[in-house]
Structure 1
Amino acid sequence: MKDLGDKVASGAAWMMGLRTFQRFMGLISTVILARILVPEDFGLVAMAFALYALVEMIGAFGLDLALIRDQKAERHHYDTAWTIKLIYQSLGALALILAAPHAAAFFDDGRVEAIVYAFAAISFLHGFENIGIVAFRKELTFRKEFLFGFGKKASAVVVTIAMAFYLQSYWALVLGSLTSAIVGLSLSYGMHPFRPRLSLSGWRDLIGFSAWITFNNAAMYGQGRGPDWIVGRLEGAAGLGAYRVASDIAKLPSSELYAPIMRAVFPGFAKVSHDLPRLRRGYLLAQGMVTLLTVPAALGMVGVAAPLIWLLLGENWLVTIPLIQVLAILGATRILHGNRFSLFMALNKPYWVGIFVLADVLITLPLMGYLLWAGYGLEVAVWSKVIASTLLLPFGVMLVSHFLQMQSKDFFAVVWRPVAASLAMLGVLLGTSNALPELTSSAAGAIHLLALVPVGVATYAIGLVALWFATGCPPGAEARALEMANERGLLRSRWAFPLRFLLTKTSAPRSSQTAEKKDSP
């Protein structure tokens, strides 16, 4: 068990490293490309990608997860998974070819047709990828998984940037994706000795596992890519390009903090899912910690969006500023949803994940389509996503309260202080920003950020500590964060004396806090 724990911990570190690398390279790529290309270029590729992602979603049967889950999977299971994927990806490529002219007609832009043909080639190449690389995760050899992902991402970024300088066209983005597919295919056979064969003998053992995975994937496609169809149709390539780039930037700070925490939380929930009191304590503590760390990051993006865009992307992308601000607010609301999804999976109720996402889609897409059709503009239309997320939040809280046999006020008790402190921080950021010189250049953007970031951090920290102290220093996320900082020696300096004092004022005795910590996942 110790050896298994070491492998899991090591694997988590490799996967976090891969995610960080991919996000960093993606950000660098976006910053460089935004200086060369225009929003319309990104929008054209996003139009074609919306259709490609639909085909990929339909074929996301979860066969790799089925192989990982079945510790007794044999050679014919791997061959079957590869054969099913090859057949589907080939049919998917054919479907893309047939649908390309219709996609161009739907978006009213003939350039989309050729891009879809390129994505058809990418889909076909993916079908031949060696299924043997699933063993990297199954056997916990995450170092190879890291190298595989590293090779694909690095090659795509290098080719995309090089082609952008050379072609000055959206084709740079397409060629980068095609390069990633070719490199991935080559690495899959170069890094693993397994050589798949055509076979369907094990299909019964694999397909049954994928029903809820397919349902959840379909709902998440509607949530993530559904707006692309509406925005692309009604706002054109430039509008869709601005929306996609704004979405990627808006969720960056919260998602990079949120995702690693969720990776650690889910196994903890699963471990104590049979013990309701421990699961309840663990859920509330985890939700408090997630809110404490990620909500200020999300709302902070609202306050620094303008100087950030001036600094990173330049004058051609100022249209994304209000979009980023609205989508950052969306990220803050979804943070209060996400921990619930880990709980549903741990309780073996995965269908609730898809149900909530589908409800979000059914509210968002019609409302967004109406607002754009009525001429309210993209800046107003993206509020439909915030409205849907906010409307569904109380229903999710009530459902969690039912499953954990607690009151809804227990949930709000662990999140209201970080949310209140974050809102106060946002108010200070907006006021400070208005007092600074007008933004007219990248240099001014850098100066604004140097002023705003420290002000935001200090305001949030002071506000959070003040609210915690005013409510009697209750045990929870704030107390646990101070304990962790103290255990790592971060409270030894003179300036940290007030925090050490607050740690001693926690309402629960030290011994009971320790016991609670041991009982929590």
Structure 2
Amino acid sequence: MLGRRTAQSGVLLIGARLLSRMLDLTTMLILARLLRPRDFGLVAIAMTVISIAEVVLDLNVGTVLMRLPVLTRTQLDTAFTLSVIRGLALGAVILSSAWPLASFYSDRRLVLLVCVLSVSSVLRGLNSPRLVEFQRQMSFWRDTVIQVGGKLIAFAVAISVGMYAHDYWALAAGTVAFPIAMVAISYALAPYRPRLSLAEMPAFLGFLGWLTASQAITAVNWQFERLLMGRLVSFARLGLFTTASDLTSIPLNAFVGPIIGPLLSAFSAVREDRPRLLRIYQNASAAVMTLGLPVLVGECLLADPIVRFVFGAKWLGAIPLLRGLSLSAIPALLAIGSGPLMMSFGDTRFFVKKNAIELVVKLPLVVAGALEFGFMGLIGARVVAELAAASYAVTIVRRNFGLSILSQILNIWRSVASVAIMTPVVLLSAHLLRFGGGVWQAGSNLVIAAALGAIAYAAALALLWLASGRPAGLEALVLNGIFNRITRDKPLRQPERAL
């Protein structure tokens, strides 16, 4: 029963995230034709410093509330108060960095841009703390409405400003509108009367300490690339890279990110039942790879029509970047399930060590690679660092839970084999369709090739699942639902064993 609720929650959140990412993609598609690559590069520089400050000062109080055995009003008040303090501190840090940043990059536009974008940072994280009450009950439809509603409002604001101003302020306007809308909707769906209190601080401090250290390392890990390249290349070239990077993250965040919350809830609920815990972990890890791997590989194979359709001819320089960035994100899929597993036992030091390993490996490689080979050297450094972090994650799971590394790797073999079957289908489609030409030709070719690849992948995955004896997992959950709709008869496999 818990597995079914976890899977249903994951499906709901994936649907919401997918819809919100489609809105992001649509926004990007329209703004790419209204703006210039250097507009994206300028905003990327401003957002880099802001993102570092946000991640370092992100208290993530929701995670602490999820782990508490009993939730009280005083704990909610403490969480809200900490979020307010964090927002004010974050705003002060960002505002104080505006002028130095503009001086460093010799562009005075960054001063006002950073000041405006700081509003989004102050508000982000101030959603109603009462949402956690519903999340603890595995009820996530409110999160869906908040996410999609915020994206719709941000989309409308960004496109309106873009059509009027035709400059980087469209990106800034959409960025600021999103958290404003989310906060308003969250209090409408989960009413909460704000009250300042720090009475429950001890319940937060120990847990947040290690998370803050982990987040500081993560911030440097993922943002120093843009700061470095902003000094080495023009804003126009940086815009190509950051846009390709953002496009790569859309499917990963849409399919993988939403399941973290339900997994944390599920792992926390069964952590005393070790066999059941490991079964859910294995099935969840396989599901992450089943959803994420074909999307990233497909994005690499179809980079040409994706860039032509989404951005247009003036963005063709992003094609090789999109290919490399898509492949560089694959190793991260191996480590996604280990995060909520370790967090369910309160082991936040895991994140510090994992992120530190990634940073130590990545930092010298990025500097050397970027200076020698530019963006492609940077992408190569990402691959090596992600492999190191993933290796650490699977090793820790083996050490703490006795699940062998070989077992964790073999757990994803059906996804890997299905992608291997999908790849020649997509490549053959690309050869026959001869990508190129205008936006509509690129769009139609993209749809055809992607559809053929998806069909090949789904068919291969289903056949391999049947050949394997119909084991529990994502395939069982999906095919069980299809079978029940068609026959209204006995299910293929009990759904509660799926995830």
Contact 1:148 1:188 (8 Å CA) reproduced = yes
Aligned to 1:409: 406
How far is 1:249 from its partner?
Answer: 1.8
- Mapped partners of 1:342, 1:13: distance in 2: 17
Equivalent position of 1:496 in the other structure: none
Mean Cα deviation higher: 118-127 or 337-346? 118-127
* Greater relative contact order (Cα < 8 A, sep 6+): 2
Corresponding residue for residue 489 of structure 1: 483
1:474 equivalent to 2:471? Answer no
Residue 293 of structure 1 aligns with which residue? 291
Q: Secondary structure at the match of 1:318?
A: helix
Sequence identity (%): 26
Query: Which of 396, 401, 404 is 1:399 aligned to?
Result: 396
Could you tell me which of 31, 43, 46 is aligned with 2:44? 46
Aligned match of 2:457: 460
Structure 1 gaps, min length 5: 494-509
Change (3 A) 1:107 1:420: farther
Instruction: Give the distance between the partners of 2:209 and 2:78, measured in 1 at CA.
Output: 17
Partners of 1:37 and 1:373 in 2: CA distance: 29
Is the partner of 1:397 in helix, strand or coil?
helix
CA deviation vs aligned residue, 1:450-478 (integer Å, no higher than 9, x gap): 44224423443565577778xxx334659
Quote the residue 2:133 is aligned against.
138
Shift of 1:150: 4.3
The structure whose Rg is larger is 1
- Report the Cα offset of residue 204 of structure 1: 3.8
Retained in 2: the 8 A contact 1:485–1:491?
Answer: no
Distance 1:254 1:442 in 2: 25
Deviates more, 1:325-334 or 1:393-402: 393-402
**C-alpha contact 2:59 2:86 (8 A) present in aligned 1:** no
- Aligned residues: CA RMSD: 3.7
Superposed counterparts of 1:11-160, under 5 Å: 15-67=13-65, 69-70=67-68, 77-124=75-122, 129=126, 133-139=128-134, 142=140, 144-160=142-158
Cα distance in 1, alignment partners of residues 203 and 480 from structure 2: 50
Are 2:418 and 1:421 equivalent residues in the alignment?
A: yes
Q: How far did 1:60 drift?
A: 1.6
Q: Distance in 2 between matches of 1:77 and 1:465?
A: 46
Q: How far did residue 435 of structure 1 move? A: 4.3
| 1:134 match: secondary structure | coil
Alignment of 1:296-375 (within 5 A): 296-374=294-372
Distance (whole Å) between structure 2 residues aligned to residue 207 and residue 92 of structure 1: 18
Task: State the Cα distance separating 1:162 from its structure 2 match.
Answer: 0.5
* Distance in structure 1 (CA, Å) of the matches to 2:368 and 2:3: 51
User: Structure 2 length as normaliser, TM-score?
Assistant: 0.84
Q: Is 1:379 aligned to 2:373, yes or no?
A: no
Report whether the alignment pairs 1:434 with 2:431.
Answer: yes
Q: How much does 1:42 deviate?
A: 1.4
- CA shift, 1:307, in A, is 0.9
Please tell me the residue identity of whatever aligns with 1:324.
Answer: L
Structure 2 CA distance, aligned partners of 1:273 and 1:257? 25
3-state secondary structure, aligned to 1:439: coil
Following superposition, the deviation at residue 27 of structure 1 comes to 1.5
Unaligned runs of 5+ in 2: none
SS in 2 for 1:388: helix
Say if 1:78 and 1:383 are closer, same or farther in 2 by CA, change over 3 A.
same
Structure 1 residues 209 and 492: alpha-carbon distance in aligned structure 2, compared to 1, 3 A threshold: closer
Matched-pair contact (CA < 8 Å) for 2:17–2:258: no
Structure 2 residue identity aligned to 1:174:
A
Deviation sequence 1:481-512 (CA, Å, 0-9, x none) = 2685255328979xxxxxxxxxxxxxxxx99x
Q: Which amino acid aligns with 1:101?
A: W
Distance 1:478 1:306, change over 3 A: farther
Q: Is the 8 A contact 1:39 1:242 kept in 2?
A: yes
Q: Cα distance, 1:138 vs. partner?
A: 1.7
> Match of 1:497?
none
Q: Is the 8 A contact 1:288 1:415 kept in 2?
A: yes
Deviations 1:290-310 (A, max 9, x none): 333331222111111111221
Q: Does 1:176 align with 2:186?
A: no
Deviation digits for residues 213-236 of structure 1 (CA, Å, limit 9, x no counterpart): 223322332343332222223224
Say whether 1:449 aligns with 2:446: yes
| CA distance in 2: counterparts of 1:363 and 1:19, whole angstroms | 31
Shift of 1:262: 4.6
Q: Choose 239-248 or 343-352, whichever is displaced more.
A: 343-352
Q: Structure 1 CA distance, aligned partners of 2:434 and 2:235?
A: 33
Shift of the alpha carbon at 1:421? 3.5
- SS of the residue corresponding to residue 57 of structure 1 reads helix
Q: CA deviation at 1:245?
A: 1.8
Contact 1:424/1:463 (CA < 8 Å) preserved in 2?
yes
Between 1:415-424 and 1:161-170, the stretch displaced more is 415-424
Cα distance in 2 between the residues matched to 1:95 and 1:198:
22
Secondary structure class of the residue paired with 1:61:
coil
What is the letter of the counterpart of residue 250 of structure 1?
Answer: T
Cα pair distance change 1:366/1:405, threshold 3 Å: same
CA apart distance, 1:431: 4.5
State the distance in 2 between where 1:177 and 1:43 align: 15
**Which residue pairs with 2:228 in the alignment?**
230
